Structure 1
Amino acid sequence: MADITLDYTPAERQSAGIGRLTREVTRALLAARTRHRFRLFVMGQAPAGAGMSPANGLPAKTPLTRTRLTDRWLHRLWFRLRLPLPVEMLSGATDLYHATDFTLPPTRPRTRTVLTVHDLTFERDPGSAVPTLLAFLRRVVPASARRADHIVADSHATARDLTELYGIPPAKITTIHSGVDARFSPLPRGTREQESRALRERYQLGDDPYTLCVGTLQKRKNHLNLVRAFGRVLADWPAGERAPLLVISGGKGWLYEETLAEVAALGLGERVRFIGFADDADLPALYRHARAFAFPSLYEGFGLPVLEAMACGTPVVTSNVSSLPEVAGNAGLMVDPYDVPALAAAVTRALRDENWRAFAGEAGQRRAQTFTWRRAAEQLLEVYDRALGARPLEA
């Protein structure tokens, strides 16, 4: 039996992306049958109790330790001092510490460590990050990866990047794919119309069919080329048929203004809708009622929205780069994300080709069923046992 501490900070700070991944895999770990004891650790000034309600599926009595120190102070204590402060002085004594978000704080010599690296976007696409954050990540992540006893990568693509860019031995890396929540599934036909009406009214989408894209407005997500491609889709749309909308759900990120300017320049303001961060409870419905889902990202550590869309039975168009082929398999249309005409053709096919749409809906659901949080938790427990095996523990 071992005491394992998980950094739960991302789950409290982010509703989507890494936050969702951390929440879901933590739920699955706490539900798993294991001899280990778990404690959650939250860094910085996160809202008290956030992420710990029964609605999140976490047991109310799950041990949690929180430090009120700000990120600035933690970075000073951990990454700038010659004799840095071990994390156990804040989180409590532990046999294994799992850093879930790129950086591994200092630990005591006997503590085993696991580090999750979600992607190396800041290395592959340095223009996608704020310069100060880029400098920090490029300094701290390689050192963290080399110091960790074992690394978890979200995809084989990220695992290859860790070896290629940082020289991490493949034997030190385990790829664990994300799962997909059961909420993301098709609805019985009898309930679809009512849900669709409520959704369209809430987000003012009218009655037009729509292509959905989910992701923060930032350069890496490639909204710019998606908007350009959608302009071509509309230009070739048959006269007299109801033209589709492009609905983009996500907050404003680094250099988002370029996308807004392109929409205005192409005169697409009436057909491209930015709805901001959709409520997490609305996401399954947004996927379900989309005519197609487009995710032409330039680089992804995993690409959870693709998996969620497939689980809902929505035809997917995505990129043929980084981890995305691992997720979509043969169930989606994969294109070069820089090729605007090819992207436009793929979106058009996803909207209009009924035979392919039927295939994609069924194939996507089957593929999504192979990605489960339970399986991810089981693989993670194996990683913990492997890391702990370097130092025998009392039963």
Structure 2
Amino acid sequence: MRIGIDVTAGMWQGAGIGRYTRELVRAAVQAGPDLAFHLFYASGGLDPQSPFARYAHELAAGYPNITLRPIPISPRLLTILWQRLQLPIRVEWLIGPIDVVHAPDFVLPPTKARTLLTIHDLTFLVEPACAEPNLRRYLSAAVPRSLQRADLIVVDSKATANDLGRLYGIPSRRVRLLYPAVDGRFRPMPAAETAPVRERLRLPNRFLLFVGTLEPRKNLVRLLQAFALVNADDPDLHLVIAGRRGWLYDEIFTAVERSSARGRIHFLDFVADDDLPALYNLAEAFVYPSLYEGFGFPVLEALACGTPVVTAKVASLPEVAGSAAIMVDPLEVEDIAAGIRAALADPAPLRAAGPPQAATFRWEQTGQALVAIYRELAATAAAT
């Protein structure tokens, strides 16, 4: 059986869907050694020495059932051809015969094969003010077309499955729930392992941590306001925000300038994957009051590291955190502050509960379930 997976996001993006794609492919390849995986991606302009490109080549070298299929045009141009112009350039014409095509990043390429589409969230519909306008317009047009064409749809959470049914009328029989996971690097670590990261990143002694893109959906202005309330009674506490600038981030920096705790607020740019586990371990608590998430990888990463977690009781986040985190109303600054105070006052139960909760999400299990879906789709093709 020949499985074609669009790994463009995995080749170009560090966090989010990029990391998801890389981990998902590894899990599927390990779970389906008898399947032939054709990993296709837009390669125009890609640095072959980038860590993500090297990862793909190392993965292919380690598994004989992987074939890399670069398409020598840029991701932007490929998107224009396939999605905006809707040119019927079938992926089979570019990479050869395929039995099942899996698109893990919202949109399907043209194909005559059986199709599997992953929808991570519906931010552009549920929280349109939190979606970048150009991306919102693009997804609002492209996602419905892909949903209509998809034989089956994978979601990361029950919350997204419910959104698909409510907003697009997608019946549950077409939807498969596949929870993502985090890899074994995210774990409680001894001080000897975390100390070099503290020194290299110049981290304060005691700090709260946020990890994610600087954008409206992450609710950082309210987090900053909540931190100021907590810091007023705990002046030695700092806030570290780790993430790249997304869009409409000026209001975040304006809020910092106006904050009474501005001298205790620190920004890190995108943190290398190898440093993230230590960063979580060093934090007094991880605070993630996002307004909407299809899954919420940073919450699971923090839980796996045994870091006390304060997160929002919205969308998928209660599914991910279970009873191992303090859940707050993301629209109420006082509630976020109260959650932070509770985590700082009694961290031991949260530290103990995090790793077992995170362990319920396993890439091995996800890979096995995904391979079963591939076989299901191939069987329906054979029956027609």
With the shorter chain as reference, the TM-score category is over 0.9
Within a 5 Å distance, the mapping from 1:67-216 to structure 2 comes to 67-81=71-85, 84-108=88-112, 111-187=113-189, 191-192=190-191, 194-206=192-204, 208-216=205-213
**8 A contact 1:146–1:168 mirrored in 2:** no
Q: Which residue in 2 is equivalent to 1:277?
A: 270
Amino acid at match of 1:132: N
Q: Secondary structure at the match of 1:66?
A: strand
Q: 1:316 to 1:72 in 2, by over 3 A?
A: closer
Q: 1:198 to 1:41 in 2, by over 3 A?
A: same
Amino acid at match of 1:151: I
Q: CA deviation at 1:77?
A: 2.7
Q: Distance in 1 between matches of 2:281 and 2:57?
A: 22
Amino acid at match of 1:315: P
Q: CA deviation at 1:5?
A: 0.7
Q: Distance in 1 between matches of 2:97 and 2:161?
A: 30
Q: Secondary structure at the match of 1:371?
A: coil
For the pair 1:217 / 2:214, whether they are aligned, the reply is: yes
Count of matched residue pairs: 378
Within a 5 Å distance, the mapping from 1:315-394 to structure 2 comes to 315-353=308-346, 357-392=347-382
Q: CA deviation at 1:80?
A: 4.6
CA RMSD of aligned residues (A): 1.8
Q: 1:78 to 1:55 in 2, by over 3 A?
A: closer
TM-score of the two chains, using structure 1 as the length reference:
0.91
Q: Distance in 2 between matches of 1:391 and 1:371?
A: 31
**8 A contact 1:52–1:58 mirrored in 2:** no
Q: Secondary structure at the match of 2:240?
A: strand
Q: Distance in 1 between matches of 2:228 and 2:312?
A: 19
Q: Which residue in 1 is equivalent to 2:258?
A: 265
For the pair 1:308 / 2:301, whether they are aligned, the reply is: yes
**8 A contact 1:12–1:47 mirrored in 2:** no
More deviation in 304-313 or 57-66? 57-66
Q: Which residue in 1 is equivalent to 2:11?
A: 12
For the pair 1:36 / 2:38, whether they are aligned, the reply is: no
In structure 1, list runs of 5 or more residues that go unmatched: none
Q: Distance in 1 between matches of 2:76 and 2:308?
A: 44
Q: 1:170 to 1:57 in 2, by over 3 A?
A: farther
Q: Secondary structure at the match of 1:63?
A: strand
**Which structure dedicates a bigger proportion of its chain to helix?**
2
Q: Distance in 2 between matches of 1:135 and 1:212?
A: 32
TM-score of the two chains, using structure 2 as the length reference:
0.94
In structure 2, list runs of 5 or more residues that go unmatched: none
Q: Secondary structure at the match of 1:5?
A: strand
Q: Secondary structure at the match of 1:53?
A: helix
Q: CA deviation at 1:52?
A: 4.9
Q: Which residue in 2 is equivalent to 1:228?
A: 225
**8 A contact 1:114–1:149 mirrored in 2:** yes
Q: Distance in 1 between matches of 2:56 and 2:37?
A: 19
Q: CA deviation at 1:308?
A: 0.7
Q: 1:271 to 1:55 in 2, by over 3 A?
A: farther
**8 A contact 1:129–1:254 mirrored in 2:** no
